[in-house]
Amino acid sequence: MPRAVISPSVLASDFGQLTAECKRMIKGGAEWLHMDVMDGHFVPNITMGAPILACVKKGIPDIFMDCHMMVAEPEKWVNDIADAGGALYCFHHEATSDPLSLIQSIHGRGMKAGVAISPDTPSSAITDEVANAADMLLVMTVYPGRGGQKFLERCVPKVAELRARFPDKDIEVDGGVGPSTIDVCAHAGSNVIVAGTAIFGAADPEGVIAQLRATVNTAQARIAAEKSS
């Protein structure tokens, strides 16, 4: 399986201090920052767009922005997000009728491509062709649009289904993930962990990041041992 990556969700940060908050997470051990872009159409909330991402990139030139595009027309924003310094452009499968062309456009702008599925979308909606073209698959464990929601454990089997089909793919989980819910996600096979409130709201965010990463590493070692036995 691919390596563990922790991607704190800035939706839980102090937006008035966004660049400083991202620096705080990187100093605490985060490799990616999960940037929740919402348009008020695909989801009933509005957060940030390319101008804000560009400001963060200017303040932290080497930041890896994991851009979760909760937008109704993901095709429209590829160039803007690329110009703003996005490293990974993750669109919702439910929001496009031509995911392969969209992935091609994302790659054409030098970004990694991710495909997200909401809680009511089965893992089978992601075809082998789409998954193989993408760099990452995202299983939402809450309904997109709001931070701080309760973790939906019924979504976890989709992680295991996708991991069985794509053993070497980055598989991300997002929504209600923290120290109390990381075990089931890691053992199902997720390696990219998005956590918002659990990290930004912690007294010791560095310790939480380390705990999440260690749990994924332990789960991967156990899965590897089971396969070899």
Residues involved in catalysis: 36, 174
Nearest to 166 by CA among 210, 136, 202: 136
What is d(CA 222, CA 161) in angstroms, rounded to the nearest whole number? 18
Q: Look up tokens 């409130």; give the residue.
A: 197
- Is the distance from CB of 177 to CB of 194 less than 8 angstroms? yes
- Residue 87, classed as helix, strand or coil, is coil
| H-state helical runs in 92-155 | 99-108, 128-133
- Closest CA relative to residue 171, chosen from 208, 226, 123, 206: 123
Place of tokens 């940060």: 13
H or E segment at 117?
strand 112-117
